[in-house]
Structures are given as structure tokens and as C-alpha cells.
Structure 1
Amino acid sequence: MRVVVVGGGVLGTMHAWEAVRRGHEVLQVERELEARGASVRNFGLVWVSGRADGAEIELAQRARDLWEQVPGISFRPAGSLTVCRTEAELAVAKEAAARPDATKRGFQVLDAEQTRDRNPVLKGELQGALWCDRDAIVEPREVLAALRDELAKSGRYEFRGGREVRAVESGRIVDDHQETHHGDLILLCTGAWHSGLIRELTQDLPVRRVRLQMLQTAPLDDTLSTAVADADSFRYYPAYTGPAVQELEPQATVAADNAMQLLMVQRTHGGLTIGDTHEYAEPFGFDVQTDSYDYLQETAERILGRSLPKIVRRWAGVYSQTTNDEVVLRRELAAGVHLVTGPGGRGMTMAPAIAEQTFEEHS
């Protein structure tokens, strides 16, 4: 087939990857010169550990295996530590490690000494941690270009940046350069773009937009050997739902008000990416909130037992999330025209498996 993919983020690029892998010819169109949305404004976490039972964890597990097979990218099977600083937090970790599928998820409870053996940079006060050996890291600001470079080697792939699609119908799209592009299959992987053309094509989608804030530091003079989370992530991810979560101490006010958890990843250049917040009510602010960044910095420093390097970047991002029980939203808008969107904060994790699933449905 000739496949046209609209959207240059990780979901669109993984659909292009899967199409080329199956022998198809692909044109990928992106309205920006390069993707600038949530796909480059995230942690780069392939995050299996906290996923909900059923389709969500199955997709996450499959995607984890697929990420490891992609050539030309920086894939690190580093695992994650969710740090517990109180007995109540450690009780949640123990409850998670007692799940029937704990081994498949890679869960293991570590005491304080074992936690520091796994990641010696964690010098703050802690009771232990939940270890997940299935979690992994990719580089969000590098992976899309690396994937496109690999795709170009096939001779069956073309990327057109700076092209906004203005019309879509069965068999073709028209961009804002007044060029028509034909395809047997057209995939709209448009992320948080819910307005304009998408609104014209379909109404009342069960999706919402979510805004988050993150930061990045200058290089740390040490190696963070795993991804790190704090125990607020127990409140956020569905795999940890259970009696022990209900016994956690109340969140700090700033964390509760901004639906916060701490996630921390070291980039290949040594800097730390730290976040995040969640804002659900639109219209979103055009600015970022200092108190959220202060809280993230303080929490990270308590876990590390040291001051952070200088904060060199702060940013906000917006992603698309389904509001029903679908892991990802799929809609056929016309014959051979399919919208794929709404994986939420799971997009970087699950994109390879979502793309594989798309083509299995159209094989």
C-alpha cells in the first residue's frame, strides 16, 4: 500500500515505522518543520510499571519489547525505582509486589540498602523502593529524528515538514501548499490538535487535552542509573489502586492542587528531566507556575540528598487523552481514513504497539 501519515509525533512516526517495516510506501506530513508537541516534551519513559490491567498493560508490555528492537536509537533498559520515604508508602510497594502479575511487571520491593545498591545516587532518607525492571528510557528530543533516518534507508519513506493538512477524503489529502497526496490508507495521528480540520471531520470525540509542566537541569556530576519516581506516583497510576493507597498521608497542598507526581530521568548528556503536573480544565494558562517547580526541586533534592544542578529549562506540554475506557481512540472517518489519538501520557510508552495494532487490523 501507499500510506499517508498525518502527524510527526511519536505516534505518527511509529505508524510510519510499522508501515515501512511491513513493506509499504509511506509519506509522513507534519504541520511544523519538526514535531514540537508532547512527543518531545516528555520524560522518554517506556513506563510499564503502573499500567492498568487488561489492554493497557498488554500494550505496554508489547511496546516495551518493540522499543528494544528499534535500531539507531538510544534505548536504555534502566528500570525504575519508586522511592518510599515512609512506612505507609512502603506498604503500597509491598501490596504491588504481591499482585498475581508482579513478576511479569518486574516488581520487587527493596529495602533502603538494596535501593542504594541499585542506584547509589539516592542518598536521601528513604525506607526502600519498588523496583520495576521492565521500565526503560529513550531520548524524546532525539528519537523522532533517529527513527526518520532509519526509515529513509528503506527508500520507501518521505517526510514533509511545514505542511498543514487542509482537506482529507478517501484516498487523498490536500496540504496548505495546495498539493494533493494520494494514499490507500490515511492515518491521522494528530495528537492534541482537536480543532480545525479534526473538528470538521468528526464531532464530540471522547478526548480531552491535559497540560503538564516539567524542567531540566544542567548535567549532574554523577550517574542516575535508573528512572526514579516518588510515592505520589502510587496515587496516579492504576496498578497501585488498593487499600494501602488509601492509607497514604495527604499530599502536600501544591502537589494535590496540581495533580503532581515526581518522575526523574537522566538524559544522555547528564542533565535531569524532572516533572510533572497535570492540568485538566481549559483554557490553560499561557504561563508556568513557579510553586510547582519549587516543589519538584525540593522533592528531588530530598530523594537525592543533595542540591540539584542549575535548572536550565522549564516548559509546558499538552497531550490528548481519552475520557472513556479506550486506551487509544480509533475512529474511521471515511473509507481508508482513520484517526488514532488520545493515548494520554502513555503515548511514548505504547506508540510502537499501538501502531502494530493498527496495521494488524488493516492487514
Structure 2
Amino acid sequence: MRVVVVGGGVLGTFHAWQAVQRGYEVLHLERELEARGASVRNFGLVWVSGRADGAEVELAQRARDLWTEVPGIGVRTAGSLTVCRSEAELAVAKEAAARPDAAARGFQVLDAEQARERNPALKGELQGALWCARDAIVEPREVLPALRAELQKSGRYRFLGGREVRNVRTGEVVDDHGEVHAGDLVFLCTGAWHSGLIRELTDDLPVRRVRLQMMQTAPLDDALTTAVADGDSFRYYPAFNSPALDELPPQESIAAEHRMQLLMVQRTHGGLTIGDTHEYDEPFGFDVRSDPYEYLRGVVERILGRPLPMITRRWAGVYSQATSDEVVVRREVADGVHLVTGPGGRGMTMSPAIAEETFEAIERTGPSAGGTPMAPATSERAGSSRAGDGR
């Protein structure tokens, strides 16, 4: 069987991975020479901790296991600490650690001394932290080329960058070079590209685009041994919804305006990736705002107890998020042509399991009637203000 995958981001690349693992021949098309969207503009967090109950956390748990099974991509099973700087935030952490599934999520409440033992770089303000052993880290700018290198070893994989798809019909894809590519199955994993061909194929997708801002520092002369979040992240992840959450004081105005939480990861070269913001109303600005960066700088410096290294990069990104109760939106838009989109900020975390689920559904039931959902996974809180906009 020949499979054509359109979209070179993490979701498309894992659909290619699943196809090759099943013995299929794969042609992989990407309109840029290399993926340049949300898949390379994120933290590289495999973020299990805050996922919604049911299908969402089940997919995240499965994806976390799948990430560690892929050779050559350098997954760091470092875990995460959500730093609590007040008793109110610590109360939310304690309620999370009392959940029936706390052990499965790897939750444990640490006091300040235990948190610093786990991550000695946290020399600043904290009352304690929520430890999540299941969270992990990959390098977003490196993982896609590494995955493709592993795929090419099969002899059944070919990547073509710089090819924008202009037409899709049952059994074939036409690119902007005029080449026709035959495929028994076609997967459209086009990320935040909702217009053009995608709109022609289906105009009622329950998705929206979300814009975020992030930054990266010069190398820190200290090791950040875990991923780090702050107490504001409790507000954005469904697993932390509890009576204690309702007792948190309002966010600072700049954080509330930009729907901010702190997520922080140290890259393999020593620099820190820090963010992020959330913007939901289009048209998005084309500029990058400085005030959210300055706010985040202050939060990080209080947690680390030291000045940040120089900021060397700032950027914005846009991802596609489902507005329905689906964890990811799947539609068969023509016979054998499957659109997979809208994982939101969960894309880096869940793509291995989303791709696996896609193929399992097709192999179990065969193609569905055109335009109908194909075995969608659902999340009881998707689309809400606490719908898990993290990575």
C-alpha cells in the first residue's frame, strides 16, 4: 500500500512513522523546505500532567510511551515541577496529588527543600512544587529531521519539501510543480492552514487558530534538571480543576490579558525556552509584544533567584485547536483522504498516539462515509478556558 502524507510537522511526520511501521510505502510532502510552524516553535514538552480525564489523558499516556520507543530522537524523561509560590497554589497541588489517578500521572507534592533537591537551579521563591514524573522533553528544532532520518532507513520513505498541494482526489495528490502522486491513502496534516484547499475540501471544521509568543535565552550556567511551570499553569489544564483552584487570587493584569502561564525548558545547548501567551481572536497582530516577555522574565528570575541570561530569540507561532469536544479533528474528506487537525497545544505531546489511533481506526473499520468523523477521541473540557493549551 502507498500512503501520501501532506504536512511535515510533528503530526504529519508521526503519521508517516506509523505508516512505515506497518509496512507501507510513504511519500511525505511539505510546502516549506522544512517544517516552520508550531511543531518547531514550541517547548518540546511531552506534557501528561494536566490532561483532561478520559480520552485526552489516555492518549497522552500512550504517546509518552511511544515517544520513548522511537530511536535516535533523544527523549529526556526529566519530569516537571509546577512551582508553587503561595499557600493557595500549594493547596491546588495537594488536591491534584489526592486524585485517584495521581500515581498514574506521576503526581507528588514536594516541599521547598525537596523541590530544590529535584531541581537545584530553583534557588528563589517557592513554597513547594507539584512533581510529575511522566512529563518529558524533546528538542523541537531537532526531532523532525531525526525522525525523518530514521524513516529513511526503511527504504520505503521519501520526503519532498517545497511542495504545496493544489488538488486532492481519491487516489492521488497534485502539487504546485504539476506532479501527480498516487496514494491508496492520503493524510492531510496541515496544521494551522485552514484556508485554500482545506476550505475547498470541507468548510465546517470545528477549529480555531491560536497565537502564542515565546523566547529563548543564552546558555544558563546551571542545569535545569526538570521542565518547570508556575502556579498560573494550574488555571489552564483540566486536571487541576478543583475547589482549591477557585480559591486562587486573580492573575496579575498583564498575565490575564495575554492568558499567560510560565513554562520553561532548558535546551541541550544550555539556553532556556520560556513562554507563553495565548491569543484567540483573529486577525492576529503581526508584531511581537514586549510587555509579556518582561513579565515572564520577572517570574523566572524570582523562581531561579538570579538574573536571566541575555534573551537571544523571540518568536510567535500559530497552532490549530479543536473547538468541539474532540481531542483531534478527523474527517474523511474524500474516499481514502483523511484530514487530521486541531490537536491544539497538545500536538507535540500526543502526535505519536494520535497517528497510531488514526491507523488503528482505518484498519479496524475501513474508510468511513465521506465527511463524517472517523472514530474521534473526545475530551470533556476541550475548547474551554482551561482546555489544556499547553504543549
Alignment TM-score, normalising by the size of structure 1: 1.00
| In 1, Cα distance between equivalents of 2:324 and 2:46 | 23
Structure 1 letter corresponding to 2:309: P
Partner of 1:118: 118
* CA drift at 1:279: 0.1
**Which residue in 2 is equivalent to 1:341?**
341
Aligned equivalent of 1:331: 331
Alignment of 1:1-363 (within 5 A): 1-363=1-363
Query: Quick one: which amino acid aligns to residue 276 of structure 1?
Result: D
Local SS of the residue matching 2:141: coil
What amino acid maps onto 1:177 in structure 2? H
Per-residue deviation at 1:249? 1.4
* Letter of the 2:74 counterpart: S
* 1:110 to partner: Cα distance: 0.2
Amino acid at match of 2:133: D
Q: Which runs of 5+ in 2 are unaligned?
A: 364-391
Deviation at 1:157, TM superposition (A): 0.1
Letter in 2 for 1:91: A
Name the CA distance, whole Å, in 2 between partners of 1:163 and 1:139.
25
Residue type at the aligned position of 1:121: A
The Cα offsets for residues 23-53 of structure 1, whole Å up to 9 and x where unpaired, read as: 1000000000000000000000000000000
The alpha carbon displacement at 1:82 in A equals: 0.1
Deviations 1:130-183, CA, capped at 9 Å, x for gaps: 000000000000000000000000000000000000000110000000000000
User: Residue type of the partner of 1:173?
Assistant: V
Alpha-carbon distance between aligned partners in 1 of 2:182 and 2:306, rounded to the nearest angstrom: 56
**Residue in 1 that maps onto 2:389:** none
Q: Secondary structure at the match of 2:278?
A: coil
Specify the code of the residue in structure 2 equivalent to 1:3. V
What SS does structure 1 have at the residue aligned with 2:216?
A: strand
What SS does structure 1 have at the residue aligned with 2:283? coil
The code of the aligned residue for 1:180 comes to V
Q: Count residues in correspondence.
A: 363
- Alpha-carbon separation, structure 2, partners of 1:361 and 1:182: 22
Task: Give CA-to-partner distance per residue, 1:98-125, whole Å, 9 cap, x none.
Answer: 0000000000000000000000000011
Identity of counterpart residues, as a percentage?
Answer: 80
Deviations for 1:302-329, whole angstroms, at most 9, x for unmatched residues? 1100001000000000000000100000
**Letter of the aligned partner of 1:83 in structure 2?**
V
1:262-302 alpha-carbon deviations (Å, 9 max, x no partner):
00000000000000000000000000110000011111111
Return the alpha-carbon distance in structure 1 between the equivalents of residues 22 and 204 of structure 2: 33
What is the rounded CA distance, in whole Å, between the counterparts of 1:95 and 1:289 in structure 2? Answer: 35
Q: 1:41 and 1:166 mapped to 2: Cα distance? A: 26
SS of the residue 2:140 aligns to: coil
Hey, which bits of structure 1, 4+ residues long, moved more than 6 A?
none
CA distance in 2, matches of 1:361, 1:96: 33
Cα distance in 2, alignment partners of residues 13 and 92 from structure 1:
37
Q: What corresponds to 2:382 in structure 1?
A: none
Please give the secondary structure, in 2, of the residue aligned with 1:362: helix
Q: Residue 260 of structure 2 aligns to which amino acid in structure 1?
A: M
Matched AA of 2:325: D
AA aligned to 2:243 is P
Structure 2 CA distance for aligned equivalents of residues 186 and 302 of structure 1: 49
**Distance (Å, rounded) in 2 between the aligned partners of 1:51 and 1:362:** 26
| C-alpha distance in structure 1 between counterparts of 2:337 and 2:310, whole Å | 47
| 1:12, distance to aligned residue in structure 2 (A) | 0.1
Tell me, in whole angstroms, the C-alpha distance in 1 between the residues paired with 2:240 and 2:41.
26
Q: SS of 1:181's equivalent?
A: strand
Letter in 2 for 1:108: Q
Q: 1:124 aligns to what SS in structure 2?
A: coil
- Secondary structure of the residue aligned to 1:174 is strand
TM-score (norm 2): 0.93
* Displacement of 1:74: 1.4
**Counterpart code for 1:309:** P
Give the gaps of 5 or more residues in structure 1. Answer: none
Structure 2 distance, partners of 1:14, 1:150, is 12
Alpha-carbon deviation of 1:128? Answer: 0.1
Q: 2:115 corresponds to which letter in structure 1?
A: T
| SS of aligned partner of 1:273 | strand
1:151 counterpart SS class: helix
1:188 aligned partner, one-letter code: L
- Aligned partners of 2:290, 2:313: CA distance in 1, in Å? 13
